[in-house]
Structure 1
Amino acid sequence: MDSGKPIASICLGHQILSAAGVLKRKKCTAYPTVKLNVVLSGATWLEPDPIDRCFTHGNLVNGAAWQGHPEFISLFMALLGISVVF
């Protein structure tokens, strides 16, 4: 996280980031059952309402559930500086 490299986490992936101690001062969401992990790790919880809502905070793109994959991938591509043109 400190290197600034892009990180993408969706659903229960925040359990790994919480255990690694890298969510402190981040604003993020995850699957609602992981909310306690996220809050206790020092992050600010963003309510995933609706459940497909995704967010970017610094180098972290995060989402709550598979329903958010289109927005999640779009945000991650933007973070990587990639655009798709048809």
Structure 2
Amino acid sequence: MARVLIIAGDFVEDYELMVPFQALSMLGHDVSVVCPDKQKGEQIKTAIHDFEGDQTYTEKVGHNFTLNQSFNTVHSTQYDALLLPGGRAPEYLRLNPQVICLVQAFYQDVKPIGAICHGAQLLTAANIIEGVDISAYPACAPEVALAGANYIELEMDQAITSGQFVTAPAWPAHPAWLAQFNQLLP
């Protein structure tokens, strides 16, 4: 069973944190969820993004999620893989140099990295996806292309694996995304 690190923050997309945490745990993996500047036992707020026929997703307050590890105590060598959920959190997490260094460490050690929706913003900020096929929420396509990756437009329920990266556009892709991510885990 693998040890998986999830980096999250306030207003992470609810399903993109809750479902992977529960599904990977159910498969027997040891899953740690951390947030910069928060400790084990503290909570983060989630946001629910839904597709209701508007030009973009709608956003509602989600659930509180209790962190099970402290960000300042984790190191990439303790984990086999990294998972990056979307929502609003990646928008500001990408400004944290410690988060970027952690993402880069997983890349440099050639460990699996899963990113969904706006989680790709952490991949672009870490400057680690040049020449890689990457999917993300369509609003992130310009960032993905500017980072030198090949933006892959997929249906919302599809995912793609490219080397050590498994990416998908949004939470409807959980079955495909998590299955592909799980295949890369030791």
Amino acid at match of 2:180: L
Instruction: Give RMSD over aligned pairs.
Output: 0.9
SS at match of 1:61: strand
Amino acid at match of 2:110: G
Question: Corresponding residue for 1:36?
Answer: 142
Larger radius of gyration: 2
Alpha-carbon separation, structure 1, partners of 2:135 and 2:167: 6
The match for 2:185 among 59, 80, 84 is 80
Q: How many angstroms does 1:2 deviate by?
A: 2.4
Equivalent pairs counted in the alignment come to 80
Question: Corresponding residue for 1:84?
Answer: none
Deviations 1:40-78 (A, max 9, x none): 000001111x21110000010100000000111100111
TM-score of the two chains, using structure 2 as the length reference: 0.42
Structure 2 alignment gaps of length 5 or more = 1-106
Question: Corresponding residue for 1:27?
Answer: 133
SS at match of 1:56: strand
Q: Is 1:8 the counterpart of 2:147 in the alignment?
A: no
TM-score of the two chains, using structure 1 as the length reference: 0.89
Alpha-carbon separation, structure 2, partners of 1:2 and 1:27: 18
Q: Is 1:57 the counterpart of 2:162 in the alignment?
A: yes
Structure 1 alignment gaps of length 5 or more = 82-86
Alpha-carbon separation, structure 1, partners of 2:109 and 2:130: 15
Alpha-carbon separation, structure 2, partners of 1:77 and 1:15: 22
Q: How many angstroms does 1:3 deviate by?
A: 1.5
